[in-house]
C-alpha cells in the first residue's frame, strides 16, 4: 500500500470528510427508517422510486423527444424563413488542408487567443485573489478596507462596464494594448471570486492547526506554507476549476474591445458570410468542447477530495 | 508563594506571572494572576469549566495576549516583541485537548516539521530525533501512518512526541486526556508521568486527580479567573483551605 504518493492521502481525505461533516448514513439509521426493499433488478429497470416514469428508459425517451422537438423547431423555423443551410462551408473556418498542408482557419486562431487570454487571466486572478484574501484576513484595518472596497466594487458593477472602464480609461492611462486590457479586466473581475474561494479555503482549516504550528515555533509564513495551505488548497481546487470555466465563458466579452478571440472571429465570419446559424452554433459547440471536460474534471476532483479512500 | 519541597526551593524560576489581567471584550477572564513555576516543577491546574485554565496556560506561549501585568518565560518577557515570542515558543511545547496533529503529514513528518524548519536540523537528524521520541511515547511502529489512521490515545502520544522533538524546556498540557475514550487515558498519562520522571518542567491542566496526586508537586485551583488556592497535593487533597476548592474536590472525587 503506497499511501505516501496517493493524492490526497486517504487518511487526509478522511479528515477532510469528517471536517465537512459528511457522514455516511449509519446502518442503525437505515434500519430504523426502513430502507425500501427493492430487488436490484427492479431498481435498475424502474429507478429510484420504482415507478415507471422514473425509470431510466423513460428518461432517455423523454430526453430524445425533447432534443428532436428542438431540432425540428430550428429546422422548420429556418425553412419558413427561407434560410439556406451551408454547413459544408463551416469546416474551412476551422482548418483547411491545402496541398497536404494544414492551415488553421479564423475560428481556430480565435480559439487560441481565447485560451491565451484565459491562461493569462487565471494566473493574474489567482495572484489578485491570494493578495486580497490575505488582506481580508489580516489584522490591518487599511488592508481589510482595501480588499472590501475592491470586492464590492467588482461584484456590483456589470462586467461590460468594467471592460469599458479598462479600455477607455485605464488602458490609455497606463498604456496597455487591447489584449492586456482584456486580460487584466477579466483577472480583476474573477480575482474577486478567487479571493472568496481562497479565503473560505483558509478559514475552513481549524484554528487549532495554526495554533499547533505556532506552538512548535513556526513563523507566520511557515505556518501558512507548511500547515494551512496544504490543507486548504485541495478544498479550493474544485471551485477554482469553476473559476477557469467561468473565465473561458466571460472571455467572450473581449470581443467588445475588438480582441480577435473566438467570439470576435465568429462575428467577423458572420458579417462576411451571413451564415449566422451555422457559425454561432459552431462557436457555442467549441466553447462547450472546452468547458464541459473541465466541469467533468472538476466534479471528479470534488468527489475525490470528499470521498477518497 | 506556597511552601514547596526543599529540594526544589532554590531552582530557577522559569515561568512567572505578575499581576496578570486579561479580558475578552468586557469579560474579565484572568484576574490578577500571580504564579511562579521553577525548573523541574510539575504544576497541575484544575478548576471548574470556564474558570480560565486554558487561557492562563495559552498566555505562556502567547496563543492568547494578556493586557495587564508581566509574564516572563525562561528570561523572556512576553509582549509585543515578536522575537521574544518566537524565542519562547521554541522553548515551550504544548499539547492540546484536540491533539491538533497535521492531518496531511505522516506521524514522522509531523515530528520532523519543527526541528527542520525552526531548529534547522537536516532531514536525517530530524528523522533520528523523531524516531527517538516516538520510541519514547511507545509508537515508533506508527511512524509512516497518517494521524487519521491512529486511535485518539496514539494521536495524543504523537502530539507529545512532536512537541518533545523541539527539545523544549517547558511543556504545557491543556486537558490532554479529555477528548479520549477511558481505555486510552492511561497510555497518555503514563507517557506524561515518564516525562515528569525525567525532570521536565510541566504545567498541566487536567481533571485526572489520580495523576495530579502522584505526579504534581504543586496544585493550582482556579475559579472565575482567579487562582483561589495553590498548595502541594497532599495538603490540597486532604485539607483544602478554600471553600470553593472543597466543593470542587468533593464533586470531582465523588465520580
Ligand atoms: N476567544 C474568546 N473570546 C471570548 N471569550 C472567550 C474566548 N476564549 C475563552 N473565552 C471565555 O473565557 C472563559 C475562560 O475560558 P477557558 O477556555 O480559559 O476556560 P477553561 O477553564 O479552560 O474551561 P474548560 O475546562 O471548559 O476548558 C470562558 O468563559 C470562555 O467562554
Ligand atoms: Mg480549557
Helix (H, G, I), strand (E, B) or coil at A94: helix
CA nearest A227 in B: which residue? B102
The angle subtended at Cα B225 by Cα B222 and Cα B231, nearest 5°, is 25
DSSP code at position B148: G
- Measured CA to CA, the distance from residue B186 to residue B164 in angstroms comes to 19
Cell numbers for A137:
484576513
Is B100 an interface residue toward A (CB < 8 Å)? yes
Distance separating alpha carbons of residues B133 and B175, to the nearest angstrom? 21
Cα(A130)–Cα(A125) distance, integer angstroms: 8
Q: Which of A32-36, A152-156, A296-300, B212-216 comes out lowest in average pLDDT?
A: A32-36
The label of the residue with cell 430504523 reads A32
Tally Cβ neighbours within 10 Å of residue B123: 10
Q: Quick one: cell of A86?
A: 451551408
Q: Which residue has the cell 516516538?
A: B134
What cell does B3 get?
511552601
Cα B81 to chain center, whole Å?
23
**What does the alpha-carbon distance between residue A3 and residue B12 come to, in Å, rounded to a whole number?**
47
A96 pLDDT exceeds 50? Answer: yes
Q: Which three cell numbers stand for residue B97?
A: 485537548
Whether A27 has a pLDDT exceeding 70, the answer reads no
List of chain B residues whose C-beta atoms are within 8 Å of the C-beta of residue A9:
104, 146
CA of A210 to the centre of ligand 1 (A): 18
What confidence score (pLDDT) does residue A47 get? 56
Residues of chain A with C-beta less than 8 angstroms from the C-beta of B78: none
Q: Which atom, in ligand 1's list, is nearest to the CA of B51?
A: 21
- Distance, CA of A40 to chain centre: 36
Q: Is B145 on the interface with A (CB under 8 A)?
A: yes
Of B101, B103, B118, the CB nearest to A218: B118
Q: Based on C-alpha coordinates, what's the Rg of chain A?
A: 25
Q: How far is CA A270 from CA A252, A257, B253, in A?
A: 16, 18, 87
How far is it, in rounded angstroms, from Cα B189 to Cα B154? Answer: 12
The C-alpha cell 525562561 sits at: B74
* Residues B68, B55: Cα–Cα separation, whole Å: 14
- Closest residue, chain A, to B146 (C-alpha): A11
A-B Cβ pairs (cutoff 8 Å, strict): 80
pLDDT higher than 90, residue A4: no
Enclosing H/E stretch for B222: strand B218-223
Residues in chain B: 255
Contact yes or no for A12 and B146 at CB 8 A: yes
DSSP strand pairing (A101-104 vs A95-98): antiparallel
Proportion of chain A above pLDDT 70, given as a percent:
83
Cα separations in angstroms, A277 against A250, A273, A281: 21, 11, 6
The string of pLDDT tens digits covering residues A267-276 is 999 999 988 8
Query: Looking at beta carbons, which residues of chain B come within 8 Å of A12?
Result: 103-104, 146, 148
How does DSSP classify residue A227? I
B25/A contact by beta carbon, under 8 A: no
When pLDDT is cut at 50, 70 and 90, the band that residue A238 belongs to is: confident
The nearest CA of chain A is from the CA of B119 a distance in Å of: 9
Residue A84 clears pLDDT 80, i.e. is over it: yes
Please give the backbone phi and psi of residue A204, each rounded to the nearest 5 degrees, phi first: -75, -10
Min Cα distance A245 → chain B (Å) is 28
Ligand nearest to the CA of B56: 1
Question: Roughly how many angstroms between the first and final C-alpha of chain A, as a whole number?
Answer: 12
Ligand 2 center to residue A42 CA distance, Å? Answer: 55
Burial class (CB in 10 A: 0-12, 13-18, 19+), A112: middle
Whether B117 and A226 lie within 8 Å, measured CB to CB: yes
Closest in A14, A214, A217 to B148, CB measured: A14
Q: What angle do CA B15, B19, B20 make, to 5 degrees?
A: 70
Ion ligand 2 neighbours (CB, 5 A) are: B 54
A176 secondary structure, DSSP code: -
Other Cβ atoms less than 10 A from the Cβ of A186: the count is: 27
Say if the Cβ atoms of B166 and A15 lie within 8 Å: no
Over 50: is that where the pLDDT of A159 sits? yes
Mutate to test the pocket of ligand 1, among B23, B33, B49, B54 (most ligand atoms within 8 A of CB): B54
Q: Is the pLDDT of residue A26 over 80?
A: no
Helices (H) and strands (E) in chain B, counts: 9, 10
Put simply, the answer to whether A226 touches B92 (Cβ < 8 Å) is: no
Region A165-180: mean pLDDT is: 92
Comparing CA positions, the residue from A163, A175, A305, A282 lying closest to residue A232 is: A305
Could you tell me the CA-to-CA distances from B108 to A169, B90, B99, B147 in Å, in that order?
56, 19, 15, 10
H or E stretch at B42: strand B42-46
On chain A, the residues whose CB falls within 8 A of the CB of B92 are: 215
- Cα-only R_g, chain B: 18
Residues A148 and A133: their CA atoms lie apart, in Å, by 10
For residue A265, which of A245, A285, A280, A248 has the smallest C-alpha distance? A280
Alpha helices by DSSP H, chain B: 53-60, 82-91, 107-117, 123-136, 152-164, 182-197, 209-215, 233-238, 243-253
ipTM of the complex: 0.92
Does position A31 have pLDDT exceeding 80, yes or no?
no
Q: Cα separation of B221 and B245, whole Å? A: 7
Residue A298: its H or E element: helix A276-307
- Residue B101 burial (CB < 10 Å; 0-12/13-18/19+)? buried
The tens digit of pLDDT for each residue in A108-157 reads 999 999 999 999 999 999 999 999 999 999 889 999 999 999 999 999 99
What integer pLDDT is reported at residue B133 of this predicted model? 97
Counting as low any pLDDT under 50, the low residues of chain B are 1-8
What pLDDT score does B6 carry? 47
Rounded to a whole number, what is the distance in Å from the CA of B66 to chain A's nearest CA?
Answer: 17
Cβ <8 Å between B166 and A217: yes
B144 CB neighbours in chain A (<8 A) are 3-4
In a mutagenesis test of the A interface, which of B57, B63, B74, B104 is the best target, namely the one with the most A β-carbons within 10 Å? Answer: B104
Q: Measured from the CA of B207, which atom of ligand 1 is nearest?
A: 25
Q: Are the Cβ atoms of B100 and A209 closer than 8 angstroms?
A: yes
Amino acid at each position: 500500500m503506497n499511501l505516501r504518493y496517493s493524492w490526497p492521502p486517504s487518511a487526509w481525505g478522511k479528515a477532510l470528510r469528517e471536517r465537512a461533516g459528511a457522514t455516511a448514513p449509519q446502518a442503525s439509521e437505515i434500519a430504523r427508517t426502513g430502507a425500501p426493499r427493492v430487488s436490484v433488478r427492479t431498481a435498475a429497470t424502474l429507478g429510484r422510486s420504482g415507478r415507471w416514469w422514473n425509470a431510466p428508459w423513460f428518461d432517455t425517451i423523454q430526453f430524445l423527444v425533447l432534443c428532436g422537438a428542438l431540432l425540428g423547431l430550428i429546422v422548420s423555423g429556418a425553412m419558413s424563413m427561407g434560410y439556406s443551410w451551408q454547413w459544408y462551408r463551416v469546416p474551412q473556418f476551422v482548418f483547411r488542408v491545402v496541398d497536404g498542408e494544414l492551415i488553421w482557419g479564423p475560428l481556430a486562431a480565435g480559439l487560441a487567443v481565447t485560451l491565451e487570454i484565459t491562461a493569462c487571466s487565471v494566473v493574474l486572478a489567482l495572484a489578485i485573489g491570494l493578495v486580497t484574501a490575505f488582506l481580508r484576513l489580516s489584522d490591518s484595518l487599511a488592508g481589510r478596507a482595501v480588499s472590501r472596497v475592491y470586492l464590492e466594487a467588482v461584484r456590483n458593477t456589470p462586467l461590460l462596464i468594467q471592460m469599458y472602464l479598462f479600455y477607455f480609461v485605464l488602458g490609455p492611462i497606463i498604456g496597455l494594448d487591447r489584449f492586456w486590457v482584456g486580460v487584466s479586466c477579466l483577472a480583476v473581475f474573477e480575482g474577486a471570486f478567487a479571493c472568496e474561494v481562497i479565503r473560505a479555503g483558509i478559514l475552513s482549516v481549524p484554528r487549532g492547526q495554526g495554533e499547533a504550528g505556532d506552538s512548535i515555533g513556526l513563523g507566520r509564513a511557515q505556518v501558512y506554507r507548511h500547515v494551512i495551505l496544504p490543507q486548504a488548497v485541495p478544498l479550493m481546487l474544485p471551485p477554482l476549476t469553476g473559476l477557469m470555466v467561468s473565465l473561458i465563458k466571460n472571455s467572450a466579452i473581449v470581443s467588445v474591445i475588438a480582441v480577435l478571440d473566438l467570439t470576435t472571429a465568429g462575428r467577423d465570419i458572420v458579417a462576411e458570410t451571413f451564415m449566422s446559424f451555422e457559425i454561432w452554433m459552431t462557436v457555442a459547440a467549441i466553447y462547450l468542447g472546452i468547458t464541459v471536460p473541465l466541469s467533468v474534471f472538476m466534479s471528479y476532483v470534488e468527489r475525490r477530495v470528499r470521498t477518497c479512500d | 508563594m506556597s511552601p514547596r519541597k526543599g529540594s526544589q526551593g532554590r531552582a530557577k524560576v522559569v515561568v512567572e506571572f505578575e499581576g496578570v489581567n486579561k479580558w475578552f471584550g468586557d469579560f474579565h477572564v484572568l484576574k490578577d494572576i500571580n504564579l511562579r513555576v521553577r525548573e523541574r516543577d510539575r504544576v497541575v491546574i484544575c478548576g471548574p469549566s470556564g474558570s480560565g485554565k486554558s487561557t492562563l496556560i495559552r498566555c505562556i506561549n502567547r496563543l492568547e495576549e494578556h493586557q495587564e501585568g508581566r509574564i516572563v518565560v525562561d528570561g523572556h518577557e512576553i509582549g509585543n516583541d515578536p522575537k521574544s515570542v518566537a524565542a519562547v515558543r521554541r522553548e515551550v511545547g504544548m499539547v492540546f485537548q484536540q491533539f491538533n496533529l497535521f492531518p496531511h503529514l505522516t506521524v514522522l513528518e509531523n515530528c520532523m516539521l519543527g526541528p527542520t524548519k525552526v531548529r534547522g536540523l537536516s532531514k536525517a537528524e530530524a528523522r533520528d530525533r523523531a524516531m527517538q521520541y516516538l520510541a519514547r511515547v511507545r509508537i515508533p511502529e506508527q511512524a509512516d501512518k497518517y494521524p487519521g489512521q491512529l486511535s485518539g490515545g496514539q494521536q495524543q502520544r504523537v502530539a507529545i512526541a512532536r512537541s518533545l522533538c523541539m527539545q523544549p524546556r517547558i511543556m504545557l498540557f491543556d486537558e490532554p486526556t479529555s477528548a479520549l475514550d477511558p481505555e486510552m487515558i492511561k497510555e497518555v498519562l503514563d507517557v506524561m508521568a515518564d516525562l515528569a520522571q525525567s525532570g521536565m518542567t510541566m504545567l498541566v491542566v487536567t481533571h485526572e486527580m489520580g495523576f495530579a496526586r502522584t505526579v504534581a508537586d504543586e496544585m493550582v485551583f482556579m475559579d472565575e479567573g482567579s487562582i483561589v488556592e495553590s498548595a502541594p497535593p497532599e495538603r490540597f487533597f486532604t485539607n483544602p483551605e478554600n471553600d470553593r476548592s472543597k466543593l470542587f474536590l468533593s464533586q470531582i472525587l465523588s465520580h
